[in-house]
Structure 1
Amino acid sequence: MKKLVLSLSVLSLLFASCSEDNDETTTTKIPVVGEISGDLTTNKTYPYGNYTLSGIVKIQSGVTLTFEAGSKITADKSNGTDALVVLNGGKLIVNGTAGEPVVFTESSQVPGSWGGIIMYGDAPIVGASSAPSATAEDGVLVNGVALTYGGSNPTHNGGSLKYVRVEYAGKKISDGTSEMNGFSFYSVGSGTVLENLVSYKGADDGFEFYGGTVSATNLISYGNFDDSFDWQDGWKGQLNSNWYAYQTGTGNFGMEIEAKTVDNAFWPVISGITLKRSTGTVVETPGEYDAIQFKKQGNGYFSNILVEGFTEGVFCRIQETTTNNAQVTGGKIKLTNFKINGTTPQTGYGGSTAFTITFPSGNFTTSTTATGASLTNGAWSTVNGATLLQ
């Protein structure tokens, strides 16, 4: 009987050990390999994998393209101009996570090698002379014709981009005037989700909004040659927060804000902004080295701002007297609870003619406790083992 009890005890231990071993077994995901090219005319989901992007890929109206977490999509400038374009009516769904972002990159790792992500919608814009539409500046053609943008649908939905990193974009097209950014949003509406996005080492702007009503949270613009954040055409996103910019190597304005010389009765709202410029950073365009520039009647309400390193320029530059008179004096520019680390002057004017910049009471206030953007580091904000949050 004792032998039988002992044997049963040994067997019990063996089964328990096997059970524990099985619990610790992990399944390694094997990435799918493939190519993405041409016009996408039917819904498509790309599972976790490594894909090449070939040419200007257009998501047609009525079509949804989806990428699963952890995927990597690589362009190659040696094969011509590459970009991922969401046409009006199409949708792009990118389901990255903090630990498994979806990365769009380029094989040479040279800034300006491809066109990044470009999205079109039919939300309202206010173009030059208050025009309700405008011609895009990205050089993308459909049936040989440049794309236009602008509409009357403020809730346009172009999809959902979560935990997406675009690297080495900002291609300049050979016609000498057309340029692409890391992320370009033309007439994109408030139904579109933009969260935890990174534009890394592009040769133009990190993020640019061309009118529309979309808002964005948790943005990182790192090492982009032109402006970290840029908008025009009456963009009026209202729910923006946690925008972080770090300029290094080459960089112009932290934020360039314009409105096609139209005195709009609205403005975008952003809370939690960090604008940093590393020592030794040079400008791509002479004179464009301020933290924030307002021109052509650009405006906005911004709060909890941290600025550091813009020692050649100023914190807030008002470019023209018309912008000063209508937007500053008119109360359409607010910069509240800002903190400047270093010696950057608070304000300055553009052009050769001096004018006095006087904000209405409460519209321009400093703070000793402003924190700027509040972001949680992870794989989504780390490149080659180094965090982008300096």
Structure 2
Amino acid sequence: MNRQHILTLAALVALAGCSSSTDGTHHSSGELVFEGDVTGSCPEFTDREVVEVSGDIDADTTWGCDTIPLLTGHVYLVEKAKLTVEDGTWVFGEKGSALIVSKGARLITKGEEMSPVVFTSSLATEERAPGDWGGVVLLGDAPINVPGGKNQIEGLAVTDPRGAYGGSDEASNCGSLEYTRIEYAGDQFSIDNELNGLTVGACGTGTKLSHIQIHMGLDDGIEFFGGTANVDHLLVTGPNDDGLDWDEGWKGTASFVVVQLHAGSGDNGIEADNLEDDNDASPRSQPTIRNITLIGSNEASSAQRGILFRRGTWGIVENAILMGFGAEAVDVRDEATVMGTQGADPKLAVKHSYFFEIGGADGENWFATEPTDGSDDDDDDGFVESDFFSDASLGNTFGTDPKLAAPYNMKAPDFSPKSTLTPGGAETAGDFNGATYVGAIDPDGDDWTTGWTKF
């Protein structure tokens, strides 16, 4: 691994014998660390200029790989401004920093497979940890289901208008993120009020999210708050909470997704809600998730689960692989959620998917045993997950090894299957991604999780 160091502006000022005008938020080492090979026309890391960024960006701006943007505090993109980040650019965030794209503004990252855009911690490599900086927030005007149709994004001050999201534009364009890594992010404003690695609030179909890795985040990898934005080729590794999270009426799609929970951290591969205060709020959360690989830490005693559906969410997960979760594969909670499983064409289901090494020491306890008597401990109106998800009509396969190459390796994982897994049961309609195999990676194609990623 090519590793280069560069002194921060604060350190350079100190070496020159001058007083620094910064507020003391720089890390003590005074160095930014770049890991990777310089590609294309980008200069060596040590030849790049450190540019401190703070406050509001209210005009179209471009960050090229000849500079090193250093975020200090919350940086807001406002006034319909567009921020373009060229391929090969590394953006460093200090403690307490975040990049927030307010309604009407757009973030464009132009990463490439061999030259990604990287958002990461300003700390030295060996000191980096989840929560070193806040992360990236995208806010738009697409519909959400909270009363009044507008809200303030969690993790920011509720009185700041720059944190508002929600509206009526289903095509709301928050920008375009391609071949982009977000590392060591997440910040806790208060209990259950955190920034995620990537927060997507009310972004619409005009937003492009493709080839994104969120690595070692303090909270969720990515969370959708309503809207209709779609994501593809998403890799979430080592989140401290959930890999993929949604609520407030998200109706987008996610295709070709890998979530890997690490040992000792991470709760759910997917945590899915509609609205906590009104489980039947409209528009109801109802995304389609196709070709997803969900990997737990493969610890029999862990409380990790593959998918948690609750608070009225519906949605279809198909062509999935779930393996390595200590608690259970899928948990459905709350009466409004269970309603989605009813009828000949359920609106909530996991279909044509493989389940392996889940639930306890023998790895074959797919679903937890819960009371069905309507007592306080019965959190799903008597719904029996094992009966529903093992029904032949859903085409699921239990106990067959999907033969992934190295799914539990946290330093050098390989999520590709050694042979083709075909969906069980009949093929589904509405094939929006063209895949006829199970899991996130085409066994006969290139592994899209290599080359631009970090583990």
TM-score by length of 2: 0.70
Structure-2 separation of matches of 1:105 and 1:171? 13
Q: In the alignment, is residue 356 of structure 1 matched against residue 375 of structure 2? A: no
Quote the residue 1:21 is aligned against: none
Quote the residue 1:58 is aligned against: 76
Q: In the alignment, is residue 262 of structure 1 matched against residue 280 of structure 2? A: yes
Instruction: Please report how far the alpha carbon of residue 28 of structure 1 lies from its aligned counterpart in structure 2 after TM superposition.
Output: 6.6
Quote the residue 2:396 is aligned against: 366
Q: In the alignment, is residue 297 of structure 1 matched against residue 316 of structure 2? A: no
Asked whether the 8 Å contact 2:173–2:205 carries over to 1, the reply is yes
Q: Deviations over 1:252-273 (max 9, x none)?
A: 0110011011265672112101
| 1:246-285 equivalent positions in 2, closer than 5 A | 246-249=260-263, 250-260=265-275, 261-262=279-280, 267-280=286-299
Change (3 A) 1:141 1:113: farther
Quote the residue 2:61 is aligned against: 44
Asked whether the 8 Å contact 1:181–1:204 carries over to 2, the reply is yes
Quote the residue 1:378 is aligned against: 450
Structure-1 separation of matches of 2:60 and 2:299? 47
Q: 1:113 aligns with which of 132, 139, 143?
A: 132
Structure-2 separation of matches of 1:27 and 1:156? 33
Asked whether the 8 Å contact 2:299–2:324 carries over to 1, the reply is no
Instruction: Please report how far the alpha carbon of residue 29 of structure 1 lies from its aligned counterpart in structure 2 after TM superposition.
Output: 2.7
Change (3 A) 1:35 1:323: same
Q: Mean Cα displacement is larger for which, 363-372 or 218-227?
A: 363-372
Q: 2:365 aligns with which of 318, 341, 345?
A: 345
Q: Deviations over 1:90-145 (max 9, x none)?
A: 01000001111111111231111221000100000112xx6522332122466x45
Asked whether the 8 Å contact 2:233–2:448 carries over to 1, the reply is no
Quote the residue 2:222 is aligned against: 207
Q: 1:161 aligns with which of 169, 177, 193?
A: 177
Change (3 A) 1:133 1:345: farther
What do you get for the CA RMSD once the two structures are aligned?
A: 2.4
Structure-1 separation of matches of 2:222 and 2:98? 15
Asked whether the 8 Å contact 2:102–2:163 carries over to 1, the reply is no
Asked whether the 8 Å contact 2:59–2:79 carries over to 1, the reply is no
Quote the residue 1:15 is aligned against: none
- Give the letter for the 2:117 counterpart: V
Q: Deviations over 1:200-233 (max 9, x none)?
A: 0011000000000000000011001000110000
Instruction: Please report how far the alpha carbon of residue 321 of structure 1 lies from its aligned counterpart in structure 2 after TM superposition.
Output: 3.4
Structure-2 separation of matches of 1:191 and 1:372? 26
- Give the letter for the 2:377 counterpart: S
Q: Deviations over 1:164-187 (max 9, x none)?
A: 1111111112x4342000000000
3-state DSSP of counterpart to 1:380: coil
Quote the residue 2:105 is aligned against: 90
Instruction: Please report how far the alpha carbon of residue 363 of structure 1 lies from its aligned counterpart in structure 2 after TM superposition.
Output: 5.8
Quote the residue 1:104 is aligned against: 119
Instruction: Please report how far the alpha carbon of residue 281 of structure 1 lies from its aligned counterpart in structure 2 after TM superposition.
Output: 9.2
3-state DSSP of counterpart to 1:296: coil
Asked whether the 8 Å contact 2:285–2:313 carries over to 1, the reply is no
3-state DSSP of counterpart to 2:227: coil
Asked whether the 8 Å contact 1:292–1:315 carries over to 2, the reply is yes
Structure-1 separation of matches of 2:162 and 2:369? 36
Q: Which residues of structure 2 form unaligned runs of 5+?
A: 1-39, 358-362, 371-375, 401-420, 423-437, 442-446
Asked whether the 8 Å contact 2:142–2:204 carries over to 1, the reply is yes
Instruction: Please report how far the alpha carbon of residue 198 of structure 1 lies from its aligned counterpart in structure 2 after TM superposition.
Output: 0.6
Q: Mean Cα displacement is larger for which, 177-186 or 213-222?
A: 177-186
| 1:115-130 equivalent positions in 2, closer than 5 A | 115-127=134-146
TM-score by length of 1: 0.82
Asked whether the 8 Å contact 2:312–2:336 carries over to 1, the reply is yes
Quote the residue 1:386 is aligned against: none
Change (3 A) 1:176 1:256: closer
Structure-2 separation of matches of 1:98 and 1:182? 20
Q: 1:328 aligns with which of 325, 337, 341?
A: 341
Asked whether the 8 Å contact 1:164–1:196 carries over to 2, the reply is yes
Quote the residue 2:17 is aligned against: none
Change (3 A) 1:362 1:193: farther
Asked whether the 8 Å contact 1:334–1:363 carries over to 2, the reply is no
| 1:192-203 equivalent positions in 2, closer than 5 A | 192-203=207-218
- Give the letter for the 1:75 counterpart: G
Structure-1 separation of matches of 2:89 and 2:394? 44
Change (3 A) 1:281 1:36: farther
Change (3 A) 1:300 1:73: same
| 1:68-79 equivalent positions in 2, closer than 5 A | 68-77=86-95
Q: In the alignment, is residue 225 of structure 1 matched against residue 253 of structure 2? A: no
Asked whether the 8 Å contact 2:274–2:312 carries over to 1, the reply is yes
Q: 1:147 aligns with which of 140, 143, 163?
A: 163
Asked whether the 8 Å contact 2:109–2:177 carries over to 1, the reply is yes
Instruction: Please report how far the alpha carbon of residue 301 of structure 1 lies from its aligned counterpart in structure 2 after TM superposition.
Output: 1.1
3-state DSSP of counterpart to 1:228: strand
3-state DSSP of counterpart to 1:197: strand
Quote the residue 2:249 is aligned against: 234
Change (3 A) 1:328 1:244: same
- Give the letter for the 1:170 counterpart: G
Structure-1 separation of matches of 2:102 and 2:301? 35
Quote the residue 1:6 is aligned against: none
Change (3 A) 1:135 1:27: closer
Q: In the alignment, is residue 314 of structure 1 matched against residue 328 of structure 2? A: yes
Question: May I ask how many residue pairs the two structures share in their alignment?
Answer: 344
Q: Deviations over 1:69-104 (max 9, x none)?
A: 111111121xxx100000000010000011111111
Q: Identity of aligned pairs, percent? A: 30
Instruction: Please report how far the alpha carbon of residue 348 of structure 1 lies from its aligned counterpart in structure 2 after TM superposition.
Output: 4.3
Change (3 A) 1:36 1:363: farther
Structure-2 separation of matches of 1:373 and 1:187? 26
Asked whether the 8 Å contact 1:167–1:182 carries over to 2, the reply is yes
Q: 2:257 aligns with which of 230, 243, 263?
A: 243
